[in-house]
Amino acid sequence: MQKFKITVLRGDGIGPEIVESALRVLGRVEDLFGVRFEREEGLIGGAAIDETGDPLPEDTLSKCKDSQAVLLGAVGGYKWDDLPTDKRPEKGLLRIRKELDLYANLRPAKVWEPLIHSSPLREEVVKGTDMLVVRELTSGIYYGEPRGIFEEDGKRVGINTMRYTEDEIRRVVRKAFEIAGKRRKKLTSVDKSNVLEVSALWKEVVEEVSKDFPDIELEHLYVDNCAMQIVRRPNTFDVVVTGNIFGDILSDEAGVVVGSLGMLPSASVGEKYALYEPVHGSAPDIAGKGVANPIATVLSLAMMLKYSFGMDEAAELVEEAIDKTLAQGYRTPDIYSEGTKKVGTSEITDKIIENMEG
């Protein structure tokens, strides 16, 4: 029997509930595919602060480095809002990405047919949308030096530095090309090379890497134009690759286009490690009430099966079960609409598992 090892970080707020749903689905995958996932539990975020005073304890980091993948719920909440910035729960998330060198953030934006009316765009515009934004995650303007607020001639000046080496660009672009090769073989590279030298280098490296992937259709878009085209023609995009700040903005825009935050999974991957988590936050206001939507976390699990363990069939089975559950009309409160069946976290997980036919 094939065995894998993962670290489970339930986190804060609704994190423990939605992770439990994902683990129940994983248990069904184990039964159907004859594999086993050894699970180590660790603390992160506010839960870790309460227990150890550190949002990312060394014990947690060690467990993550000893695993093949990490499944994360959510971190943060108003309980810890008054802590110093460097001690807040979110710092644990930022640090784990850096420590594990998770340089590529994968953000799918898919329109689920039963939820198509959740999109703010017209049905004919958004129908068939299934894109993946690949965002460089560990470099760029969020990490560049120098940075800070300084005084010059008696006036305050704010400085941030957008910096990329060609190796940092090359590795995330290559990852995006590889993923596009397993999808619809189209890659859109987004930059601002008409005014930014760092973007000019980005575009040069993309062109160099493209020579190794002659079967992939490549297009270049300036970031402002890309933002417009995601609204005008979202269903024409396949894989989009871009730098840290542009990817931060465009992936959120793509998420709004498809209509529901509770349906958005993500992966942060590197050469050795990978972390999977829903896009939404910890929602402390509904924690413990049994109404949280676990689908984004279950979809993050499906991404883990696909990208970390090569279990494409299992990943597709999970996605198909979710689609079938939605088609049957089951909805958690965040995606409920008149005429559908309102259920809680546990109930919709039950339905997804029932729809995973062997």
**13 φψ region: left (φ > 0), alpha (ψ -120 to 50), beta (else):** left
Work out the pLDDT band at 259, boundaries 50, 70, 90: confident
Average pLDDT for residues 103-115, to the nearest whole number? 96
Average pLDDT for residues 133-145, to the nearest whole number? 95
Q: Which of 197, 148, 193, 198 is nearest to 168 (CA)?
A: 198
pLDDT of residue 324: 97
pLDDT of residue 358: 55
Least confident interval from 15-19, 86-90, 150-154, 290-294: 86-90
For the cut 90, the answer to whether the pLDDT of residue 260 exceeds it is: no
Average pLDDT for residues 266-278, to the nearest whole number? 97
For the cut 80, the answer to whether the pLDDT of residue 355 exceeds it is: yes
Q: Which of 37, 74, 70 is nearest to 294 (CA)?
A: 74
pLDDT of residue 86: 79
Domain 120-258 class, CATH top level: alpha beta
For the cut 70, the answer to whether the pLDDT of residue 81 exceeds it is: yes
Q: Which helix (H) or strand (E) holds 30?
A: helix 15-33
Q: Which of 285, 305, 299 is nearest to 348 (CA)?
A: 299
Average pLDDT for residues 53-67, to the nearest whole number? 97
Are 1-108+260-358 and 120-258 in the same CATH fold? yes
**Chain mean position to CA 338:** 30
> Which residues are known to be catalytic?
142, 192, 224, 248, 252
Q: Which of 77, 113, 74 is nearest to 300 (CA)?
A: 74
Percent of the chain topping pLDDT 90: 94
What residue spans define the domains of the chain? Answer: 1-108+260-358, 120-258
Q: What is the pLDDT of residues 286-310, one digit of tens each?
A: 999 999 999 999 999 999 999 999 9
pLDDT of residue 94: 87
For the cut 80, the answer to whether the pLDDT of residue 234 exceeds it is: yes
Query: Any residues with CB less than 8 A from the CB of 123 and at least 6 apart, and which?
Result: 116, 117
* Token duo for residue 251: 């992936």
For the cut 80, the answer to whether the pLDDT of residue 344 exceeds it is: yes
Contacts 24+ apart (CB under 8 A), 338-347: 344/290, 344/291, 345/17, 345/18, 345/21, 345/290, 345/291, 345/292, 345/293, 345/294, 346/21, 346/290
Average pLDDT for residues 32-56, to the nearest whole number? 97
pTM summary value:
0.94
Percent of the chain topping pLDDT 70: 100
CATH 3.40.718.10 fits 1-108+260-358, yes or no: yes
What angle (nearest 5°) sits at the alpha carbon of residue 51, between those of residues 47 and 57? 80
Tell me the C-alpha distance between 96 and 180, whole Å. 27
Average pLDDT for residues 157-181, to the nearest whole number? 97
